[in-house]
Chains A and B, each alone.
Chain A
Amino acid sequence: MPAQDWLRAVDDDRTRTAALRQAPLLVDRLRRDGRQAEAVDVVDRALRHARGSDLLARLGGQQALLALDLVDTSAGSTSADGPNSTGAERVDRATILAAARTLADAADRALAVGRAAAAADHLLQALHVLLHRSLHTLDTPSPLSHKGSGWLDPVIRSAAYTRLHQRTQAAEGAPAPVDRPRVLLVTDGNAHFLGEVERGLVGAGARVTRLDLTGPRADGLVPAPVVLARARLGDPAAGAAVDASAAAPEVAALLREADVVVVDWCTAAAVWASLVVPPGARLVVRLHSVEAFSVEPHLVDWSRVDDVVLVGGQLESLVRHVVPALAPARTRRGGPLVHVVPNPVALDGPPPDGHASRAERPDAARTVAVVGWAQPVKDPLWALEVLDELRRHDPRWRLLLVGADYADPQLPPGRRYRAEVLRRIAAAGDAVIRTGWTADLPEVLRDAGYVLSSSRRESHGVAFCEAVTAGCLPVARDWPDVAEFGGAGEVFPAEWVVRSPQEAAARVLALAAEPDDVRTRTAAQAAGLVRARYGSAAVLPRLLDVLVPPARTGADGARPGTRPHLVYVAIGFPPAAKSSAYRMRATANLFVDRGWDVTVVTIDRHAWDLEYGLDLSLLDLVDPRVRIVELPLRRADLDPDVRGYSWFRARHPARWVRLRHRLDTIPFPEKVFGPWRRALERGTEAVVRDRPADLLLVSPAPYTTLAVARHVRRRTGTPYVVDFRDGWSVDVLGAGEAFGTRTRRGRWERRVLAGAEAVCTVNEPIAQFYRDRYPELASRVHVARNGFDADLGTDLAVARRPDPAAGLAFGYLGTVNLTPAHLSLVVDAWVAARQRDEVLARSTLTFRGHVGAGWAAGANGNAAVIARAGVHGVTYGGPVAKADVAATYGRWDALLLALAGGRFVTSGKVYEYMATGLPVLSAHEMPHAAQDVLEGYPLWVRPPALTAEALRDGFVETARRALSASEADRAAARDHAGRFERSLQLDPVVAMLDDRFGRRNPLQHTQDVPPPATPAAARPTPAGVSR
């Protein structure tokens, strides 16, 4: 019925009732046809006459939807908010919430009387109101972007929504794995990200069929969302319609024969698949970013889905926050496994060697590119603001907009945004260049030196990554719609991420000010990082592990089930910014290199925020095949949220700590970490039961992990090795024993070490200590030294030459864990040396690294000592990310090696120091374990004693050596360091363990333990990421 006819009918008493009944359908049709103005007339008139709460709720919802459709004046249509309306933010959000609440109440009422179809209609409309595009895609903050907004509460707290996600009876066990599985790839038309996946699946031996539900084969087959929603709530007619769609000849055979059904994008196709995929097939759904703001994830029957793949950590947090059926608390008790695997990007061509090799054009040095810009979600206005900022410094800056031009948006707010973008582009004149769509991105990007991600949300930005690998320097906005959930910092290094146009411009200008070679190197490093993280070679194996785990074969031709499996309990594994992280990273990588599958068990990465923080650049250095399981543990004693403290803790902090430490030792005799024992034991056991391990490697501290080794051995029979590093019963600082053999700790240590297949320490003195303490273990104690990491892609060799006129730069890099007295001695010696030597008088001493942890970061006694010496050229520059270590050494002329402890302490930094080829001044007790390493280093300055006078002379001597050292001296120094490369130190021990426990030569283990665990018959507890 045309709107005019309806208006006449509703005015007529005889036809009014029938007209009102038709009103919602008519409004829906008018909205679909883009005739919102007429729809508003119909709704207004209908509301005037309507009676009955159902109809009023429905019309109220439609009124809210129309207000959101029309909230704009630029298209000349009705405004919901007056003539100055500027976007969806001007629509009263309270009105929207009220409309949704009314609809949800109506759904509950309908459900209570068994009207499932009506309940589904109301519920669906409530979701459409709350998830309207105007609220989530234009230039206002999406209400879902705030964790505490409770935007969806009116719906998700309704009885109808709860019924929708009631847990259904899951199929018994997982489908049996088959060779060459038949994989059905289902799309709703958008196959943009499927190409690489399909190629990977075919390469892995899967038989792949695509089903495009909008293609000619199956167009119109999937019922409308409203029918799907009704079917989900148990409406028989809708259920029959869905069943009929699955029985259609176009798809029935495909569904019947598929072993795995993969649905890309969580659209109506995913809802449909969750209703029709037969129980014998695995169902995998991959969500990108836009669906988190859409209705369909709320309609999917997640209890039917086996695995969910999300394309970024920030999106995982968002989706699990927004969709209650995927919240960790829910999935932990059963439900789909949730994986985070980025979109694989075909970046595996020859790596670019920075800008120089790609022969960028002259204007590129002042050109910023945005690739794929013409959508509101890409927020080109933000990019234009960055351009304005840049042009304020230099009017020669340009913005290169690469990609197809703006299509005409459907809704007025989108049209308004587009008009504003085009107006700003026109106003910018020659400063903005639009290239249009291109098939040859690297060629177009020869015109740009920088690439900007200005989006409101992203997975990791495929086009952005392509531009980075083409050699552009990256600048990524902290995507505001997901900023509270980790934002861009979750996927890119922190230095790439900016929070405002001003910050973006500042980063670009700072990069522009760097010398060409630095820019080239930075671009090459960025490209390498993107390749390592998002290139197909890195990502595809992980994705295939999820999609077709049993059929995939490894790079070495071995099936995953036939590769030896190491479970590595490594508390402090990257991205923890701890010194132990380097050794752990190298160990895991070496096992992977030898053909092992490695699963690392560690704690929630955000727990490290409470201590020394995170260094995300370390994660890039971990082999992507290493699987990391993070257990939800954190230190209660470092909790900084004062509001959560008890009265006792706030009032008597010292007594609270003492009491806490006493209680901590009840489960295991180690303060702070003792309470973690049970969670670590259970978590690690679950990992081993998920996939039996050939070897368990624990790396204390914390020493509670020793209990884990014993527990897992007793429960599953897995042999274990202890990588002791510094040892437990040895007092590395006091040079004696830390506790006796008959103490509780002593008994634990003896018990655990007695069952260990091998025990590793970081130097010979500690190894000898253990051989003496436990003679029966002597043959099992090995030394696996630390070393410097040569596989980081950065050469530590320092090219800088000292300038006596400007003075020398002395540096210290590492955690400043000296006693304040020791540090004062060093600083006093420095001051005295400056008075004695005129070059030193102009020189500086810089400390980099952590000074104090947690609340005391940068605020302990050592910080005070450094602060007091500020007038003598002593400064503190903060911690350094691993990726910036080489650059930090590159700014120094000589190094200060100040170490605590004596003959048991080697430290990790001594190896790195030597690799720089710079003069090294020792400021530690003698004898010291570091001496063994430094012996023979040609530029080592070794004061005879740890006194102020000796150190003073040492500083003077070091300055002299720095000024006189020739290129040959430095090369000789680096040669000496070469044998202390970390993998050379660790590899012999890893090789020994590989020989003993790898599948090639299985060892007969101790006989008094049960046989290794077999996988549980039922679906195992996840060991991948998260349930």
Chain B
Amino acid sequence: MSPDAAPRPVRVVLVGVVAPTRTALEIPVAALVARGAEVLALLHTLPEARVLTGLGLHGHRRLVLTRSSRPAAPTRSPVRRLLDAGTYRALRLLDLRSSAGVRAFRAARRDPQSRAVLRDADVLVALDRVAVYPVWRFARAGRRPAFYGIPAALRHLDAAAPARRHEARARRTTGREARQEVSG
């Protein structure tokens, strides 16, 4: 990274299994964004588009708790089709015997894009009680801060802000002065 490159914003991933309301997200997400965070949402039940539009989210993805019986890209290979069907049935059986939290965790783990979002997260936030379990599992795996509810995440960002601010400021100062040296 060049000395004056801005530090990567803190990436906060909100995980929800119960559909949130706009009020539940509007003020807290704005507060997260105001603190310079990049906010992504991973929601089981995607609320109506108008709920998420204009919130300032940097992205959202649906968390499919049960794998669809119709694969997005059907294959012609009979072996592959057989394997897909078997996997689906096994997962379905597992899911039937599991709680929503466990299913949400499995769904996130088997979806590469969700996995990538969670892997790159700096802070994980469970929006509801059911989402605590997947967040707990991913937080333990990645050793990153994880909270139940956005207010606690905001407090965490506030507490961590001075360190990040100073790092950024030190880099900026260095860069500016280095340029002054070069330009004479």
List residues of chain A with CB under 8 Å of any chain B CB: 83-84, 86-87, 89-90, 139-141, 145-146, 478, 480, 483-484, 487, 499-500, 609-610, 613, 640-643, 645, 649-654, 851, 854-860, 863-864, 866-868, 870, 876, 878
Contact = CB atoms under 8 A, between A and B. Distances in A.
Nearest to B166: A141
A651 B101 CA distance: 7
Nearest to A854: B149
B133 interface: yes
B163 interface: yes
Contact of A867 (B22, B129, B146): B22
B133 A858 contact: no
Contacts of B151: 609, 613, 640, 854-855, 857
B140 A855 contact: no
B1 interface: no
B155 interface: yes
Contacts of B177: 84, 86
Contacts of A654: 129
Given A145-B162, A857-B149, A867-B26, 5 more contacts: A483-B162, A640-B151, A642-B139, A650-B133, A858-B27
B149 A855 contact: yes
Contacts of B63: none
B6 interface: no
B23 A642 contact: no
B148 A642 contact: yes
A83 B127 CA distance: 51
Contact of A84 (B22, B99, B148, B181): B181
Nearest to B182: A84
A776 B132 CA distance: 51
Interface in B155-183: 155, 159, 161-163, 165-167, 170, 173-174, 177-178, 181
Given A480-B166, A645-B132, A653-B132, A499 B161 contact: yes
Main secondary structure on B side of the interface with A? helix
20 contacts: A83-B181, A87-B173, A89-B174, A140-B166, A483-B161, A484-B159, A609-B151, A640-B149, A642-B135, A643-B140, A650-B133, A651-B133, A653-B132, A855-B149, A856-B149, A858-B28, A859-B23, A859-B127, A864-B23, A867-B26
B72 to A, nearest CB: 31
A856 B181 CA distance: 53
Contacts of A864: 21, 23-24
A694 to B, nearest CB: 40
A654 B130 CA distance: 9
B56 interface: no
A641 B152 contact: yes
Nearest to A871: B50
Contact of A859 (B20, B136, B173): B20
A295 B42 CA distance: 50
B145 A643 contact: yes
B39 interface: no
The list of the 10 closest CB pairs from A to B, nearest first, reads: A855-B149, A640-B152, A859-B24, A141-B166, A650-B136, A867-B23, A483-B162, A863-B23, A642-B146, A864-B21
A378 B159 CA distance: 22
A615 to B, nearest CB: 15
B177 to A, nearest CB: 5
Most interface-central of B130, B137, B149, B181 (chain A CB within 10 A)? B149
A493 to B, nearest CB: 16
Contacts of B152: 610, 640-641, 855
B184 to A, nearest CB: 13
A640 B147 CA distance: 5
B64 interface: no
Nearest to B162: A483
A84 B21 CA distance: 53
Contacts of B24: 858-860, 863-864, 867
Contacts of A90: 174
A642 B126 contact: yes
Contacts of B118: none
Given A141-B166, A863-B21, A642 B147 contact: yes
Given A651-B101, A855-B148, A146 B135 contact: no
B107 interface: no
Interface residues of B, number: 46
A139 B149 CA distance: 36
B162 A480 contact: yes
Most interface-central of A483, A500, A640, A641 (chain B CB within 10 A)? A640
B161 A640 contact: no
A609 B101 CA distance: 27
B10 interface: no
A576 B101 CA distance: 34
Nearest to B22: A867
A635 to B, nearest CB: 13
A106 B183 CA distance: 47
Given A86-B177, A483-B162, A499-B165, A645 B136 contact: yes
B162 A141 contact: yes
Nearest to A870: B22
A500 B181 contact: no
B102 interface: yes
B171 to A, nearest CB: 10
Interface string B1-25: 0000000000000000000111111
Contacts of A484: 159, 162-163
B139 A643 contact: yes
A856 B24 CA distance: 8
B161 A858 contact: no
B146 A643 contact: yes
Contacts of B37: none
A216 to B, nearest CB: 44
B142 to A, nearest CB: 10
Contacts of A854: 149, 151
A858 B136 contact: no
Contacts of B102: 651
Contacts of B137: 650
A415 to B, nearest CB: 15
Contacts of A643: 136, 139-140, 145-146
Contacts of A867: 21-24, 26
Interface in B78-137: 99, 101-102, 124, 126-127, 129-130, 132-133, 135-137
A650 B135 CA distance: 9
Contacts of A610: 152
Contacts of A649: 132
Nearest to B181: A84
A641 to B, nearest CB: 6
Contacts of B132: 642, 645, 649-650, 653
Contacts of B28: 857-859
A86 B167 CA distance: 14
Given A870-B22, A878-B27, A642 B170 contact: no
Contacts of B129: 653-654
Given A856-B149, A857-B151, A878-B27, A642 B136 contact: yes
Contacts of A87: 173
A86 B163 contact: no
B153 to A, nearest CB: 8
B40 to A, nearest CB: 17
B131 to A, nearest CB: 10
Contacts of B145: 641, 643
Contacts of B135: 642
Nearest to B138: A642
B170 A140 contact: yes
B50 to A, nearest CB: 10
A641 B147 contact: yes
Contacts of B166: 140-141, 145, 480
Nearest to A867: B23
Contacts of B124: 642
A478 B165 CA distance: 12
Contacts of B133: 650-651, 653
Contacts of B161: 483, 499
A876 B25 CA distance: 12
